[in-house]
Amino acid sequence: MQTDHRGRRGVRRAIARLAALATVLVVAAGCAGAGTEAGGPQPAPHVPAPATAELTATDVESWLDGLVPAALTRSGIAGGVVTVVQDGQLLTARGYGDAHLGDGNGDGREPVDPERTLFRVGSVSKVLTATAVLQQVEQGRIDLDADVREHLDFALPLRFDQPVTMRHLLTHTAGFEEVIDGLIAFDDRPTDLRAALATAPPEQVFSPGTTPAYSNYGYGLAGYVVERVSGVGFDDYVQRNILEPAGMTGSSVAQPLPPELRERLSGAFATSAGPPMPFETIGAAPAGSLTASGTDMARFATALMDGRLLAPETTALMQEPGLGPETLGTLAGSPRMALGLFDESRNGRRILGHGGDTVFFHSHLQLYPDARTAVFVSLNSAGAGADTLDLRNAVLDGFADRYFPAERPPAAPASGTGTPERAAAFAGRYESARASFSTFASAVSLTGQTTVTDRPDGTVLISPGPGSVRSAAYREVRPDVWQEIGGQRTISTRTRDGQVAEIGYASAFTLLRATPVRDAGIGVPVLAGSAMLLLASLLAWPLGALLRRRYGAAAPAPLGRADRLLHGLTRVAVAAGVVALAGWTVSIATILSFGDIPFAVLQGLQVAQWVALLGVAAAAGAVVTALRAGAGRGRVTGRVVQLLALAGTAWVAVAFGLLSSSLSY
């Protein structure tokens, strides 16, 4: 019993660790900011500010000073910056907390300076990449709807006949699965964009234009096309054609940073307790390599809105939804991705934006094109839990509610929607389309699935809510369009065979109904139970031998040569299964923390997994020989337990890619 208890606790700890790390991948670590780039989690309830507040420097500064410093202290975030643009002018730039924490005695502590201090802005960089693409569209070098392979000098394997276009790349609908390897490295090494893209490209798992699935690889590819058609390296292109025209003299997409900028870079921290963390190098640089000050980001927003970077008609094109119902179907009913910008509209006001997260830096840029207003916020620490998300949304949503409140009440639900039958068709378990499906990293899906529960009044409870870390209730307001109850998020659904098959949300993300074999509600208990039983079986053999020796008991009588062989093979398979499960757990936790796993280690784990799989046949044979020989109930039961444990392990291995021929991730 003590052995079983320790095994159970270990499995639970491992699963909990994986769940936490999966959250880091989705929310904070992948230059993507999946939870924040299009509406992110809602902050804790707060009293809304008066809707009559006037957008002036005095009012904004007073409001921010009352909100941000206390939130930094409460969240364990070392420092941050907020800048606001209005009518082409910098309205305010506020630095809060510390850029460097010093030695703990006050020596070397440096406060955040909104003009001088530089932040790594993660996937906000993608707005610059999209701008670069559209500049080349203006010059006739790129056709948004042509096959991007025309501009590549390496093979891009595609599963579907329909070509991938630049429009697909900029709207995250090229269909690529998630890539983790090489996304972030903790050093100052130079990057090779072509090598990052051409080495083990991800599989295409969705037909182009049909399924939003956020892709850092796709934006890396877009930046490489700019490099190819312009004849200028991506870093130099952005410097000459975006940063300099916008007046961003203290910004760069270069990695490593030029020495004169590196000394201005804020420290990166897990929490305000320190210590400083290493520089984060982005492998697919166009997806997230920009380093900038708060005031430089204000200059970029101004230049993007005032026509210095793009012609007016191109700016309008950038701000329109990139795809429509002709390819997205009913998923077009929720906010759609523009060309490099998320639709983050609130209070009936048009807001376009993009968030960005490295492991330690967390940023967000929002544009109000109709009001010629922009807001940028960046933080230099991960903080605790979802605190960076809460703080960013407290600033962004609070700004919208204070200065751009709703002008009219939301529309009433359409008749015929919101029925219990419609809710029942929605209920089930879903996994993210932003995931690996062809490699062992597919096992991450075991830890991050979403549950939809139907309710008698025709509403549904989604846990966690799309784009959030908290549960949220939704009501259908139009066919296949659902509105958050008490909130402003809108999601859409696509139905097949009478059931909701996909959930579209936050412009560039989709949840897919999990098939029975990939349902975490089944897979996690099976995996945990199998691991516990395998470990118990493995330990039972030596413990049994020790107990028999101590008490002078005789070993069980042999059941014949064939049985000895089968039982021996089963023992090998059980040991291999324990090694494989432990190894995969550590490996996946490592890659989700952006560590490297030697290829030989992954090969060894896969060999162990195959041994465990083949051991199912040996275990089944051992059960049969025991039954035929009339072995005791305890002996037969032990072998049945081993068979079930190996079978459960085999099921998880097949369903979640642990036996995939590809060991890339």
CATH number at residue 147: 3.40.710.10
Predicted pLDDT of residue 553:
63
Q: Are residues 214 and 250 in the same domain?
A: yes
- Give percent of the chain with pLDDT exceeding 70: 88
What's the confidence (pLDDT) of residue 385? 65
CB contact at 8 A, 409 and 397: no
Q: Is the pLDDT of residue 2 over 70?
A: no
Boundary residue ending a domain (471, 496, 514): 514
- Residues 181 and 212 both lie in one domain: yes
pLDDT at 21: 36
3-state secondary structure at position 169:
helix
Model pLDDT for residues 470-479, shown as the tens digit of each residue: 899 999 999 9
Mean confidence (pLDDT) of the chain = 88
Which pair of structure tokens corresponds to residue 25?
């991948």
Within 13 Å of residue 531, how many CA atoms lie on the same side as its CB? 26
Q: What's the pLDDT at 554?
A: 57
Other CB atoms within 10 A of residue 44 CB: 9
pLDDT of residue 616 exceeding 90:
yes
Q: What is the mean pLDDT of residues 342-362?
A: 96
- CA 28, CA 31: separation in Å to the nearest integer? 7
243 and 367 housed in the same domain? yes
Shared domain check, 322 and 438? no
pTM (2 decimals)?
A: 0.88
Residues in Cβ contact with 66 at an 8 Å cutoff, skipping those fewer than 6 apart = none
In this structure, is residue 348 part of a structural domain?
yes
Residue-level pLDDT at 52: 65
Lowest-pLDDT choice from 205-209, 315-319, 465-469, 571-575: 465-469
Residues 290-308: pLDDT tens digits? 999 999 999 999 999 999 9
Q: How far apart are CA 617 and CA 642, in angstroms?
A: 11
Residue 665 within any structural domain of the chain: no
Instruction: Examine the pLDDT at 560 and tell me if it is beyond 90.
Output: no
Q: Convert the pLDDT of each residue in 410-451 to its tens digit.
A: 666 666 678 999 999 999 999 999 999 988 888 888 888 999
Q: How confident is the model at residue 105 (pLDDT cuts 50, 70, 90)?
A: low
49 and 170 assigned to the same domain: yes
Domain end marker among 483, 514, 545: 514
pLDDT for residue 49 = 45
CA distance 137 to 325: 24
Q: Mean pLDDT across the stretch 183-195?
A: 90
507/569 same-domain check:
no
Angle between helices 561-592 and 2-23 (to 10 degrees): 40
Is residue 636 pLDDT above 50, yes or no?
Answer: yes
DSSP strands (E only) in 129-287: 184-185, 281-282
Does 378 score more than 50 pLDDT?
yes
Please report whether residue 54 resides in a domain.
yes
Total domains in the chain come to: 3
Is 184 a residue whose pLDDT tops 70?
yes
* 125 and 270 part of one domain: yes
Check: CB of residue 369 under 8 Å from CB of residue 423.
no
Q: How confident is the model at residue 344 (pLDDT cuts 50, 70, 90)?
A: very high
Q: What is the pLDDT, as a whole number, of residue 349?
A: 95
Average pLDDT on 509-521 reads 93
SS3 category, 496: strand
For 318-328, what is the mean pLDDT? Answer: 97
Mean pLDDT to the nearest integer, 599-613: 93
Asked, for residue 77, whether it belongs to a domain, the answer is: yes
47 pLDDT more than 90: no
Coil, helix or strand at residue 652 = helix
Whether the pLDDT of residue 558 is over 70: the answer is: no
Q: Residue 552 — very low, low, confident or very high, per pLDDT cuts 50/70/90?
A: low
In the prediction, which pLDDT does 188 show? 83
Is the pLDDT at 151 greater than 80? The verdict is: yes
The answer to which of 143-147, 409-413, 653-657 has the lowest mean pLDDT is 409-413
Instruction: Assign 564 a pLDDT band (cuts: 50, 70, 90).
Output: confident
Q: Is the pLDDT of residue 23 over 50?
A: no
DSSP string, 586-613: HHHHHHHTT----HHHHHHHHHHHHHHH
Q: Answer yes or no: is 575 within a domain.
A: yes
Least confident of 12-21, 95-104, 501-510: 12-21
Q: Are residues 389 and 463 in the same domain?
A: no
**Cα separation of 429 and 393, whole Å?**
27
Quote the domain boundaries for residue 446.
420-514
Same domain, 97 and 43: yes
Residues 506, 522, single domain; the answer is no
pLDDT digits (tens, 9 = 90+) for 256-288: 999 999 999 999 999 998 899 999 999 999 999
* H-helix or E-strand spanning residue 377: strand 373-379
- Cβ burial, residue 496 (10 Å; 0-12/13-18/19+): exposed
Asked if residue 141 is part of any domain, the answer here is yes
Please check whether residue 524 lies inside any domain of the structure: yes
Is pLDDT of 103 > 90? Answer: no
What pLDDT, on the 0 to 100 scale, is given for residue 410?
63
> What is the per-residue pLDDT for 440?
87
Provide the phi-psi class of 613: left if phi over 0, else alpha when psi is between -120 and 50, else beta: alpha
Residues 309 and 287 reside in one and the same domain? yes
Report the b/e string of 174-197 with b at 16+ CB within 10 A: bbbbbbbbbbbbbeeeebebeebb
Q: Would you say residue 410 lies in a domain?
A: no
What confidence category does residue 33 fall into, taking pLDDT thresholds of 50, 70 and 90?
very low
In order of 546, 591, 604, the CA distances from 598 in angstroms are: 37, 11, 10
Q: Residue 387 has what pLDDT?
A: 80
Average pLDDT over residues 539-564: 71
What is the per-residue pLDDT for 544? 65
Quick check: 3 pLDDT over 70?
Answer: no
User: Would you state the torsion angle of the CA atoms of residues 160, 25, 182, 597, taken in this order, to the nearest 10 degrees?
Assistant: -110
Do 166 and 225 meet the contact criterion of CB atoms below 8 Å apart?
A: yes
Q: What is the pLDDT of residue 37?
A: 37
Pair 387, 483 in one domain: no
Q: Which of 498, 514, 530 is the last residue before a domain boundary?
A: 514
42 pLDDT band (50/70/90 cuts)?
Answer: very low
Confidence of residue 119 (pLDDT cuts 50, 70, 90): very high
Whether the per-residue pLDDT at 41 is higher than 90: the answer is: no
3-state secondary structure 407-425: CCCCCCCCCCCCCHHHHHH
Check whether 533 has a pLDDT greater than 70: yes
